[in-house]
Amino acid sequence: MQALLDVILPVFLVMGFGYAAVWRGWFKDEWVEGLMRFTQNFAIPCLLFRNIAGMDLGQDFDLAMLTSFYAGAFGGFLAALLGARLIFGRPWPDAVAIGFVGLFSNSVLLGLPIMERAYGAGALAPNYSIIALHAPFCYAIGITAMELARGAGGGARAAVPRILRAVFRNALVIGILLGFAVNLGGVAVPGVLTDAVDMMTRAALPAALFGLGGTLYRYRPEGDMRTILYVVGCSLVLHPAITWGLATALGVGTGALRSAVLTAAMAPGVNAYVFANMYGVARRVAASAVLIATGLTVLTAWFWISVLP
């Protein structure tokens, strides 16, 4: 109970303020759009750049941890995709978009603040190693599967340019790549620049949480509840369970285990809806799953914080 009060509820209260502000008309919808553009295109890329530039890559990139997390993510994708197709009879493109909901955890806007409040800022290095691979991994799987499901000419080969455009136009990926360039190149960044970047990073998470709350106000549940609850289960239950089982079997250290499992236990990110909207399929399922799973993350995060070492 203390973990719920001290760690998780403050994060969700900030989101709740954003949700209530938009609901009551105190914060306009277009302001939310602007705030999210600021956080996702500027502040959070600065946060990722700053932390990846300073990482010890040899120590923080734990292959066993990354294998555990991404095997769990892929398991969530397959279970959601096949369930949507075989249990609920959705067309293949719908099934891929629903699978993407089971694949894409909210590793930044939820994973970072909850992990930081639970274990401190010093525990975040494994989170950043997960985040560094997250967008490329998820978009590569999602776009390739969607192109195959739609029967696009050229199959997987034709999907490659689309994958590359989606990945390398993403501001988060650009921030990550710049961080790697500075880290691997041993570039000495001037102090005045790092101070400016640090000012941006301090704004990133609280502003993003407030904006996420406002964004979620749009995604009120509307039908398809059996499918929505199924994919929420794939995201919040199956993904962290696979990650925990594999990480335990592979002997992943305590800090990396916490990062991998807690990140896996986060709700699907808003990008899950963006992906569905990009193809015009399963938008209601994706939007409602993001909203419902975000609320239920209070319980899943509390559970894992309680049982993890």
Q: Rounded to an integer, what distance in angstroms lies between the CA atom of residue 120 and that of residue 221?
A: 34
End-to-end CA distance of the chain: 16
Percent of residues, the chain, with pLDDT higher than 90: 33
Tens digits of residue pLDDT in 249-260 = 999 999 999 999
Is the pLDDT confidence value at 307 over 80? yes
Tens digits of residue pLDDT in 99-157 = 999 999 988 878 888 898 889 988 888 998 998 888 778 888 888 888 788 775 455 56
For residue 89, give every residue at least 6 positions away whose Cβ sits within 8 Å of its Cβ, in sequence order, or none. Answer: none
Residue 5's pLDDT is what?
62
Report field, pTM of the whole predicted structure over 0.75: yes
Residue 268: beta bridge partners? Answer: 105
Is the pLDDT confidence value at 293 over 50? yes
Name the DSSP class of 218: T
Tens digits of residue pLDDT in 38-85 = 887 888 888 878 877 877 766 668 899 999 999 999 999 999 999 999
Count, in order, helices (H) and strands (E) of the chain: 17, 0
Q: Rounded to an integer, what distance in angstroms lies between the CA atom of residue 235 and that of residue 44?
A: 23
User: Higher-confidence residue: 159 or 117?
Assistant: 117
Single-letter amino acid, residue 112: L
Residue 191's pLDDT is what?
83
Count CB-CB contacts under 10 A for residue 111. Answer: 26
For residue 61, give every residue at least 6 positions away whose Cβ sits within 8 Å of its Cβ, in sequence order, or none. Answer: 129
Is the pLDDT confidence value at 162 over 70? no
Nearest to 134 by CA among 222, 264, 11, 280: 264
Confidence of residue 161 (pLDDT cuts 50, 70, 90): confident
Residue 157's pLDDT is what?
63
The domains of the chain, with CATH numbers, are: 2-307 (1.20.1530.20)
